[in-house]
Chains A and B, each alone.
Chain A
Amino acid sequence: MALFFYIQILFHVLGGIAGFLFEQHGEKANRVTHGLAVLAGVAGIVFSLGVLLTGKPWALELEGSFPVGALRLSADPFSAFFLLVISFLSLAASIFAIGYTREYQKRKNIALLGFFYNFFILAMLFVVTVQNAFYFLLFWELMSLASYFLVVFEHEKPEARSAGTLYLIMTHVGTAFITAAFLLLYIHAGSFSFDAFRAAAGTLSPALKNVVFLAVLIGFGTKAGVIPLHIWLPQAHPQAPSHVSALMSGVMIKTAVYGLLVFLFNFLGEMPGWWGHVILAVAILSTLLGILYALMENDLKRLLAFSSIENMGIILLGVGMALVFKTLHQPLYAGFALIAALYHVINHAIFKGLLFLGAGSVLSGTHTRNMEGLGGLIRKMPWTAVFFLVGAMAIAALPPLNGFVSEWLTFIALLLGCEGASPAMRFFSPLLAALLGLAGALAATCFVKAFGISFLGKPRSEHAAHAHEASGSMKTGMGVLAVSCFGLALAAPWIVPVLGKAAKSLSGADIPMTALTQKAFLMSPSGTSQFSPLLIVLVLSVFLLGTVILLRLTFGRKHVRIGPSWDCGMPGLEPRMQYTATGYSKPLRRIFSFLYQPTRRVELDDESHAMLRTAQRFESKITHHVDEWVYKPLSELVADLSRKAKQIQTGHIQLYLSYIFITLILLLLFFGGRS
């Protein structure tokens, strides 16, 4: 089995390098580099499924020359689950990339793209398997840097450069906190190895534990993009090439969940109750604000990026409930909440990957991401439209698709809070469930907008009118993910026990699977509710088929008439008469105006002719409070300090030398000196 993992690593390395052999021939480089990534993905799926299904962990120890301990790689079912998610999405994204990167071939170096792409995936694979803090940070940094270069891949665009810089700053702030957490544990345990951290977990002092927890929450929270640490995410994810956006939103931010879970369940031992509450608070804030901001976006990829923030929130709701139950010593409920979180990890990877690939397909077909310029694509790009619709339905948690299953599990996990938890949780957990419901409804609105404005109606611009369908490999890449959206929903009762294995290998607590699944039914552990995705599909298809047959029987075939739309007696329907993306979200902008604080400005170009208005300009903006209140003052403060520090930077080489000289003499006087 381990052979397949070695093959995966080998193929990614080869794929990264081999492209340079064909640097002059874009198409060859593209096929080699992405083709090898596809094969590596297949190998990775075989390996991780092997570990996950048999439950036999794999480990490898390489003695290095660094004084930080051996490089130990291992894959228990928990790691294998993340390996599976990464391998599967990278498989689909690589297939998609073969067709998608063709448009870059004339002006960009595909070999370079393939190099960063392959090493980005490779770094993520190592992050979730490595068992040594030093090497974890090394690969974590490699992952961040590779993704930075992918974000600035189109560096001729100024917005890509500024997004890249912001990403680089934020990710390093996060890494600094993670490093601090690891160093604190290192001081305590005396070794960088994860096994030593696990062994020393019981003896941590409460104060140290709390500090490590907060550092870890900020560090991994930055990578996960939870509010208020999210600002880089909606900037950076849309700038990368779309298949990379899919990987960044689909799996890179999930490595933060991996790190957080490993810390919380393995390194920190017994935990105080408030940790779970803090995580729940952060999670619900991200869920609600993420989707509310997504609703106001008219840029397709930015909208998806904000929705990633929402979904990270949903995952963290599961994690938070797992912590709450863990502190209350209810392993069954904790395991259930953990399963809900893990299920949403894989689901979000699949449908967000699918949506980003769909957005990439729209981008390559129309060369615009602005929804106000799209419309009517369903006729030009029918396949993309179908796949995007599947993704949109999945993310909106509509029943026959996978999003519904994991959100149902999360709901149940939240509602279980009423049954066994503390009095505070008894009050708050139904409230959280209600807010999650609100977020679900908003997500549905958001994706009705995304799909409806982009794909339905009439084309709003020349770009959209001359759109072309995606190529075969792009359709295949999206198709794989769309099918898995159905597969992950229908197979839910058989997937949950597998996730149970992963959760068990993380927390060590035994989860009785019979309490969670019975035949084709998913059960709530308290036994109060159950549902079967298969049954839902059956009922839905019976209703659908029944309606169709009934209509055919009563009216017959000839009753369908096709005629022009009613145009209020003014002939000539124009695309401009349609709902705009901004207009569609207007009601919600009104309802949540206390949050958005929208500002709008109307300017007349020609003030003198009040009656004959030839042109006017309209501007409507919403306020991003976190940016305004936290980051703006912060960046001004940093800029201010830099300006002050600049005064000692005169550019005189002699002055710089004398700084060194004076420092040296002062240090010598201070530490040397006659005794």
Chain B
Amino acid sequence: MSDATMDRTFAEPAEADAFSGIPPGKLGMWWFLASEIMIFGGLIACFILFRAAHGGWRAESADVHWRIGAFNTLVLLTSSLTMVLAWEAVKTNRPERVGRFLGLTVVLGLTFLGVKGYEYSREFGAGFTPFSGLFWAFYFTMTGLHALHVFAGIVVNSILWTRAARGRLEGIQHRIEYAGLYWHFVDVVWIFLFPLIYLS
């Protein structure tokens, strides 16, 4: 260390570091998402490797309903848009708008789960269950784990929605941002799952 910087290490507090500008909740959420990425990443990596090892599962994957999957992709992408619009309304401090867009996000999330449930029921009806071979085991595990994450996001967004619908944003502004980070993550996971399962 040079003499100039050495002087600075004595008897004066150093300047704030690069991280101190980030609120703890946001940093915590990012670390949480990092661990989630490793969970879904591990699962997706297993799927890709097994699929390659089993010759592509062309026959099995012909039976998924890509139109339903595409519709759900649209639903989830739109819900990400409404989530951003809710956060945008938080920044301009318009509680009714926040409530409206959070509500829309919740409704779109429920739509996604409803459509997913319909899709599952059609597959069960056609005889495809988690025990119908490895492709379907992966299909139900991956989409099921994703659906659980969607459900968790819906619960969080609903709580924030009821708070915002009563016109009070104090104390939940940042939570809406963090819930948004999580919601977009769940969306991005689907963006990976959709082409991997339905389009290949």
A and B are interacting partners:
no
User: What residues of chain A have their CB less than 8 Å away from a CB belonging to chain B?
Assistant: none
